[in-house]
A and B are shown apart, each in its own frame.
Chain A
Amino acid sequence: MTDACLTFKDLTLGYSSHPAVHHLNGSIKAGSLTAVVGANGSGKSTLMKGIVGVLKPMAGSCTVAPGKRIAYLPQQSELDRSFPARVIDLVSLGLWPRRGLLGRYTKEDREAVSHALMAVGLEGFEKRPIDTLSGGQLQRALFARVLVQDADIILLDEPFNAVDAKTVGDLIRLIKRWHGENRTVMVVAHDLELVRAHFPNTLLLARQPVAWGETIETLRPENLLRARRFDEAWHDDAPWCEPEPGHVHAHSHDDHHHHEHGEVHGHPDHESGPRAA
């Protein structure tokens, strides 16, 4: 059995004291390919940000196995498309983990960049300014950057948005290639058919995990129904989750949430979505 690559311990992530991901427990195995599925507002992107470390947990922890590098492709990129850069400059940013601030780009680095561009079908685009790319071409370029990053853990947040069928096919092929290279891949996706067809594992989120495990099991109709009925709104009158600050592990509803990986689905306690206490 392979080791855990990412471990969530009672992980709660959110914004201004309202949880968006509530008490997530479990782990992602090294070399696994997991789809993260859920309605809008169910905490998928928040979970991604929490794993990368862009968002600090409100409680609990998310640990990355030591020495594992993460590549992250956000849903709403803060990419400034008006910045005067070429495709090759954008993709070369992926060399950062290897070369850092001052390391010189070697001949191999430049080859890695041009191989990555070839792999995403953007050969000949090296010199194109990024503001002339279409949405799909930009997404390919960003995938090329992930390729160049050569990371052990790859997080893709809704990479198939506004992308045509051919490009989706190409991107899926890349994801499978990463999976084949024993990298750990997590992908936020909405297309359940796509998930069923290509992803062995699925995490179904509705602010807390509804089901998590093999895709066929996770995406059963009753789970999907439960995931759809979650409460998306913030309630300012919701009671505090921890009675005393600092009592991170001693909250009252351990019985609801301390599920190990895989045994979540079918649990009757999850029907009403996030109850704060």
Chain B
Amino acid sequence: MYDFLIAPFVEFGFMQRALAGSLMLALGACPVGVFLMLRRMSLTGDAMAHAILPGAAAGFLLYGLQIVPMTIGGLIAGVIVALGAGAVSRFTVQREDASMAAFYLISLALGVLIVSLRGSSVDLMHVLFGTVLALNNDALTLIALISGFTLLTLAIFWRALVAECLDPLFLRSVSRLGTPVHFIFLGLVVLNLVGGFQALGTLLSVGLMMLPAAAARFWTARVEPMCALAFGFGAISCVAGLLVSYHASLPSGPAIILSAGAIYLASILFGTRGVFNTKLRRHRHRTA
């Protein structure tokens, strides 16, 4: 048991780093994912993940496979797309889903173009799928900063974020925070995706954000426990994914996301608000 569960993390530095990095990622990304889901923007996360690519690719083109320039590039690209799409939806008749799709497709095509200017498909695979087993100190520091900043921002803007999700028109009638908080939130999404792409790649970093959140929805009907539960699921996925990848010699990023996927599928079936409890089991009902 010890050999299977604990030994890999005790014996190997790279496993410790991978675990620390992915847990910190989950700490910031999972609550953000909960709000993305509650705002019906689950696919926005996906779109943003694609949108980051040209920035990361530009960093890669100029400086090679290095974390800092690629992160900064990804951040810039993500913020441009988020602001552009958000502004189009807030100030024109077009809804956010359409404007987001338009912006991220432009961004993705640009990214693939830039990567193909220099580099092989191996490099592209690095950017797309990440390398959680090769996190260096820079990357870990970056992830720690991002998750700390995310938690702090969420704590400060919590009330506004909940109000903006629950009743946006009400928030607009009592406060001018509605629009700013929307953009702050999109900023957090970008930040966490950029933080995640070192470890999981641009395509899969959104998985650690959305899957635990989607799973948590099947267990509770309140926001605070949902965020905590999402982080719990995220953390379990990280540990399980890393172990599976270690023992079965599988790529670790997909293993982590697949673990989260397994939790999600189990939650659909067995969650307190899942299929078995709400649909299949015949409920006794009370007199009032």
A93 CA / B58 CA spacing, docked (Å):
44
Task: Given A85-B162, A86-B222, answer yes or no on A97-B174 (Cβ-Cβ < 8 Å).
Answer: yes
List the A side residues contacting B174 at CB < 8 Å: 96-97, 149
A72 CA / B174 CA spacing, docked (Å):
9
A77 within 8 A of B: yes
Q: In whole Å, how far is A81's beta carbon from the nearest beta carbon of chain B? A: 9
B110 within 8 A of A: no
B226 within 8 A of A: yes
A101 within 8 A of B: yes
The answer on a CB contact under 8 Å between B172 and A54 is: yes
A102 CA / B157 CA spacing, docked (Å):
8
Task: Given A83-B38, A84-B38, answer yes or no on A96-B175 (Cβ-Cβ < 8 Å).
Answer: yes
Of the candidate stretches B163-171, B195-203, B235-243, the one touching chain A is B163-171
The answer on a CB contact under 8 Å between B220 and A77 is: no
Q: In whole Å, how far is A186's beta carbon from the nearest beta carbon of chain B? A: 14
The answer on a CB contact under 8 Å between B160 and A101 is: yes
Q: In whole Å, how far is A110's beta carbon from the nearest beta carbon of chain B? A: 15
Question: B159 touches which one: A53, A84, A101 (CB < 8 A)?
Answer: A101
B287 within 8 A of A: no
A244 within 8 A of B: no
Interface size on A, residues (CB 8 A): 26
List the B side residues contacting A80 at CB < 8 Å: 38, 165-167
CB 8 Å contact bits of B143-183 with A (1 = contact, 0 = none): 00000000000001101101101111111111101000000
B223 within 8 A of A: yes
The answer on a CB contact under 8 Å between A93 and B167 is: yes
A220 CA / B221 CA spacing, docked (Å):
51
B 37-59 contacts with A by CB, 8 A: 38
A101 CA / B157 CA spacing, docked (Å):
7
The answer on a CB contact under 8 Å between A52 and B173 is: yes
A83 CA / B170 CA spacing, docked (Å):
15
A1 within 8 A of B: no
A40 CA / B158 CA spacing, docked (Å):
38
Q: Offer 26 A-B interface pairs, CB within 8 angstroms, sorted by A.
A: A54-B173, A71-B173, A77-B167, A77-B170, A78-B167, A78-B168, A78-B169, A80-B165, A80-B166, A83-B166, A84-B217, A84-B220, A84-B221, A85-B166, A85-B222, A90-B167, A93-B163, A93-B167, A93-B170, A96-B159, A96-B171, A96-B174, A97-B174, A101-B157, A101-B177, A145-B170
